[in-house]
Structure 1
């Protein structure tokens, strides 16, 4: 579903049923042009914002031949254009509407650059759920905005979701899929086999490839299974992921499958609460974006 009007109750209902929603053209060209200008200096490690010193080594992309798909986290803490994009009222308003939240903060942002070329290692993004990476979050009302910086077609490896997968029953097999951290994987055939096995559980595996024009944005639920194919186009596919958290979200102690403490990359950067736990409301790392200031 995609609309050109300001999203309303129909959009929220669609999101609840399908686990994703695509807007009409809501972002101005001027902002997208500024975001694209950032890319020319990215590999030179030039920034116009000053991220926390503890984060700088983490932010650097390794030198040498880059992977076909590259991820640069905390992009909105490094560049003003990316910060303005992540906090844009059209995005924050829609995220609040879809999640039913009155107040939102940024949880994280990332630039995903997918270079052309199918026959390369890591050319595709594996099926995964964002919730798998957020086991230390208390909220189930987070959401992700996926913002392409150019027209993005199926051939370029656009975002692909499994429609309605956020409502699948929590069986052992589905729980294993939802908790698998398979954003980066080489064994895509195994992931497809896992999806095929779900059909025996009366689950409908409905693949939706979301083509978007520049200025459109898609949102997906943290339990929506999603991934993307290789970029068969002629230019790089650049997109920004903006993860939003509602005001109630807080750090929740969790454990990995092997019993070790779970963590999110935030945990070593955000300020600490009096009890020593990470504070996911740290305004430096997780600034509020809805309602707009003032």
Structure 2
């Protein structure tokens, strides 16, 4: 196996400029096989319901891992439930990649999602992460997308609408994750603006919360498994959502309350600091 790229040379000025212009970025190889094997072991433990922590409630929309016939399994907050996934999500290297790309001074975890797409025709419709985070003051949140295998057009690789994070869009109308019709997937955006990200095992992609994205079908014989790590700038805090938006994010159930009774997105357990981390912290 080849070695991962040293952290000191991961993100340069050209990468920061690319991300600012395009709203997405694909890394060089930054993860080693042992790191990914440990993550895969944690994923297997999650699906086997071998949990280190039991959440007080089931996140809405969570798939039942006991129903393997479901073509797309989506499960949130897996890093709160399985130690190996928690250790992976808290990698200082991953936090530094996102922080430097987004020109942030600090980042906290917001939450994470494990998504397994079985072979078949199911799509993920066009949406933005921002559209699901309208209780957040920040519009500059980020997602690190970590596949556990090589991903491209054949197995439902992540598709992005290039530079869409800079468009004046109504993010209260872009909750299309489950709108999986082929017509929506193919014709909603000009074909020249849609990029399917080819990400090899050991690479990650990063996209802006306002970047429109989705994914195509998995035409291979194996599941496509990926972990999405959603990050918030240190200044982010709860705000009442606009009319028509969901009134509650599941973070609001898990997080402690701040001084005025709002969900505290600085809760050190649910939303720990991922970058920069104090010396000696995991």
2:266 maps to which residue? 281
Query: Which protein has the bigger helix share?
Result: 1
Task: Name the SS of the counterpart of 1:154 in structure 2.
Answer: coil
Q: Distance in 1 between matches of 2:130 and 2:160?
A: 14
Q: Distance in 2 between matches of 1:21 and 1:136?
A: 26
1:199 maps to which residue? none
User: What does residue range 1-294 of structure 1 map to in structure 2 within 5 Å?
Assistant: 5-47=9-51, 49-52=52-55, 54-55=56-57, 61=64, 63-118=66-121, 123-168=122-167, 170=168, 174-175=169-170, 179-190=173-184, 192-195=186-189, 206-257=193-244, 262-294=247-279
Q: Which deviates more, 243-252 or 82-91?
A: 82-91
Q: Does structure 1 retain, via aligned residues, the 8 Å contact 2:123–2:216?
A: yes
Q: Does structure 2 retain, via aligned residues, the 8 Å contact 1:27–1:90?
A: no
Q: Does structure 2 retain, via aligned residues, the 8 Å contact 1:253–1:261?
A: no
Task: Report deviation, 1:51.
Answer: 4.4
Task: Name the SS of the counterpart of 2:154 in structure 1.
Answer: helix
Task: Name the SS of the counterpart of 1:156 in structure 2.
Answer: coil
1:47-88 CA distance string (max 9 Å, x none): 1x3244x23576672643542111110011111221122121
Stretches (4+) displaced over 4 A:
56-60
1:200 maps to which residue? none
Task: Name the SS of the counterpart of 1:94 in structure 2.
Answer: helix
TM-score normalized by the length of structure 1: 0.86
1:182-210 CA distance string (max 9 Å, x none): 111233414544435xxxxxxx8511111
Q: Does structure 2 retain, via aligned residues, the 8 Å contact 1:45–1:60?
A: no
Q: Does structure 2 retain, via aligned residues, the 8 Å contact 1:143–1:245?
A: yes
Q: Could you list the runs of 5+ residues in structure 2 that have no partner in the other structure?
A: none
Task: Name the SS of the counterpart of 2:146 in structure 1.
Answer: strand
Q: Distance in 1 between matches of 2:177 and 2:241?
A: 20
Q: Distance in 1 between matches of 2:152 and 2:181?
A: 24
Task: Report deviation, 1:36.
Answer: 1.1
